[in-house]
A and B are shown apart, each in its own frame.
Chain A
């Protein structure tokens, strides 16, 4: 009787103990599985944040270069007679640098809407080549972020990102592009509202800022390889000649230069050198 009682008790307790120990094991397992998982997501959060910050820092030269130009756009748009809201919409929705100035000129000359839009398309088509070059380098699992990254592609963000040593993760790209975008838009609003630029000689001298940035970006690689240096200079010469002598729409000198010199470059680099690009 005692034995059967014990057996009975055991038969009830055993599954309980087994269950408990199973739960315990399960708990340990889940913790063991969860901890590194949490660690990973924490790490990736930190990585995301630091990539974003690194991107903003990388955008600093663009912030400096954009602001005085955007100021000038704000002032000019006021004198053209468009409203503050329209001026800001140009900078925030179109966001297209030189073609915004061209649009103001064409509005003042009473050019037709279609003419303005077509000119803009021709002038900005170079970004097709830049997006094509950079889209393959962007490391992103989330496809939904790509249209936003594409919106922020300008001559300057493309240049900084292309020559950056950072991995082109979305955090970095968004940080870089946001810094540039905010500079362009605050500059526009400030120019329109304040109606005055920086002192004239400072404003004029800051026109060199973005060119200095382009030089600073391309020089380190050009220093290392004579072939690269030659391609950079040749492309500049082709663009200069086309703009000076050929009657192509504005903005197509750069497209012709990029296409022709890059195709030439495909044949003058061997596989080993191409890896360094």
Chain B
């Protein structure tokens, strides 16, 4: 068999199993107070770790473009909220800085 297909099959299993397992393990079970709180905190801590330090290399050749773009997104969130506007604000900012 083609080695690439073997890699794809192996990677698919290695990716899917961690995604699937919690759905089968935690269904029909009410977690304790502390486990519940732990699970509810994961979105916040995950987002923190997804943003930092990745944002410094979001624009690989020009870290300052990524950082400024992120700062503009944050500023728009504080003033206006929403999702689409901060994204386009960030892209536009990065674009201007790269083009400068």
Interface of chain B, main secondary structure: helix
Chosen A-B contacts, 12 in total, with CB atoms closer than 8 Å, are: A146-B24, A209-B91, A212-B70, A214-B47, A215-B51, A216-B87, A219-B77, A222-B44, A238-B49, A254-B49, A262-B41, A277-B40
Select one of A124, A213, A232 contacting B48, CB under 8 A.
A232
B interface residue numbers (CB < 8 A to A): 3-16, 18-27, 31, 33-34, 36-55, 58-62, 65-66, 69-70, 73-74, 76-78, 81-84, 86-87, 89-95, 98-99
Kindly specify which of A20-28, A88-96, A179-187 makes contact with the partner chain.
A88-96
Q: Residues of A contacting B89 with CB < 8 Å?
A: 212
Q: Which of B8, B82, B94 contacts A216 (CB 8 A)?
A: B82
| Residues of B contacting A201 in the complex (Cβ-Cβ under 8 angstroms) | 95, 98-99
Q: For residue B37, which residues in chain A have a CB less than 8 angstroms away from its CB? A: 265-266, 269, 274, 277
A150 at the interface (CB under 8 A from B): yes
Q: Which residues of A contact B (CB under 8 A)?
A: 60-61, 64-65, 82-83, 86, 89-90, 93-96, 99, 103, 107, 113-114, 116-118, 120-121, 124-133, 135-136, 143, 146-147, 149-151, 153, 155, 158-159, 162-163, 201-202, 204-209, 211-223, 228, 231-240, 243-244, 253-254, 257-258, 261-263, 265-266, 269, 271, 274, 277
Contact between B48 and A212 (Cβ–Cβ < 8 Å)?
A: no
Residue contact B62 to A261, C-beta cutoff 8 Å? no
Chain A interface, >50% SS class: helix
Query: Which one of B15, B16, B22, B59 lies within 8 Å of A132 (CB-CB)?
Result: B22
